[in-house]
Amino acid sequence: MNEGSRILELGAGTGAFWLENKDRIPKGVHVMITDFSEGMLASTKHALGAMGENWNYHVVNAEDIPFDDGAFDMVIANHMLYHVKDKTRAFTEIFRVLKPGGRLYAATNGNAHMKESDELAGSCGMQAPSAMSHSSFTLQNGKAQLETFFPSVTLKTFEDGLKVTNTDAFMAYIKSFAEAIPPEILQCIENKVKEIIARDGFFSITKESGLFIAERIS
C-alpha cells in the first residue's frame, strides 16, 4: 500500500490485522473497515479508534457493497470468503469497486488445515470442524473461482503448525463450532487428546493457509 491508497476490508472481525501492522501503514492511507455484524464492527471501531482520521467504519454485506465503481485500490478479505453464501455476487461486487490495476487480497485455508483435529473429532462421531466452515473457498478451489472474474490470480502459501499441550484450550476450539455437541462425543474427543498429549507431550496439528492475490487488469 502507498500513501493515499484507498483500502476496503471486508469482514474485518476484531481488527487484529490492523493492530498487528499499525506501524507499517503509510500516512495518508484511507481505510474503510467493514463487517456484516453491527456489534462486531462497533467493537472493532473501539479497538482501532486511535488509528487516524482517514479510517471509516461501515456495516457491509460482501454480496452488496455500497460503494462506487472503482472506489478502491485494494480490497482485503482475510479468512472470510468461505462464510459468504453467494460468492459469485461477492466477487462481482469486489471487482466492481476495485480500480483498474487494483488488487484483492484473500486469505484462506487449505484442505489439510487442522486435519488431525478433524480426524480425531470424526473418530468420535463429530463432523470435521474445519470442513464445516472452510470448504467452500479453499487454497485448492479458490483460484478457479477467482479466475472467473480476475485474469491474474496468484497464490502464496504459508507453512505452519500447532503443538497443543493444553486440552482445555483444544476443547474450547471444538465447542466453538456448534452449540449442542453431545456430551459423549465431547468426552471421547477430550479423552483422546489427553492420551496423545500424555504419550507424545503434545498434539501436533497441521495448519495450511495462504493468500490469493487477484488483480483487476482493466
Please choose, from the candidates 34, 29, 105, 24, the residue with its C-alpha nearest in 3D space to the C-alpha of residue 63. 34
The count of other CB atoms within 10 Å of the CB of residue 17 is 16
pTM as predicted: 0.88
Lowest mean pLDDT segment, chosen from 14-28, 65-79, 89-103, 148-162 = 14-28
Calpha distance 24→1 (Å, rounded):
10
Q: Which residues contact 215 (CB under 8 A, 6 or more apart)?
A: 101, 102, 103, 104, 150, 151, 152, 153
The model's confidence at residue 26, banded by pLDDT at 50, 70 and 90, is confident
Q: For residue 116, which amino acid is it?
A: E
Handedness of CA 60, 63, 66, 70 (dihedral sign): positive
Mean pLDDT of 4-15: 94
Does 81 score more than 70 pLDDT?
A: yes
Does 86 score more than 90 pLDDT?
A: yes
181 within 8 A of 136, measured Cβ to Cβ: no
Calpha distance 47→20 (Å, rounded):
12
* Pure H helices in the chain: 16-20, 38-47, 87-97, 115-123, 129-134, 142-147, 167-175, 183-200
Mean pLDDT of 37-46: 92
Does 131 score more than 90 pLDDT?
A: no
pLDDT tens digit string along 141-181?
999 999 999 999 999 999 899 999 999 999 998 988 777 89
Name the CATH code of domain 61-215 (choices 3.40.50.150, 3.40.50.880, 3.20.20.80, 2.30.30.40). 3.40.50.150
Calpha distance 182→136 (Å, rounded):
26
Domain ranges of the chain: 61-215
The model's confidence at residue 191, banded by pLDDT at 50, 70 and 90, is very high
136 by DSSP, 3-state: which? coil
- Please provide residue 95's backbone torsions phi and psi, each rounded to the nearest 5 degrees: -60, -40
Does 69 score more than 60 pLDDT?
A: yes
Q: Which has the higher per-residue pLDDT, 124 or 135?
A: 124
Residue 80 vs residues 135, 211, 218: alpha-carbon distances, Å = 12, 12, 25
Mean pLDDT of 118-135: 80
Q: Which residues contact 175 (CB under 8 A, 6 or more apart)?
A: 181, 186
Q: Express as a percent the part of the chain with pLDDT over 90.
A: 76
The count of other CB atoms within 10 Å of the CB of residue 67 is 16
Q: At CA 38, angle to CA 37 and CA 40, rounded to 5?
A: 65
12 within 8 A of 41, measured Cβ to Cβ: yes
pLDDT at position 133: 61
The arrangement of strands across the sheet holding 203-215 comes to 55-59, 30-35, 6-10, 72-78, 98-109, 203-215, 152-164
pLDDT at position 27: 84
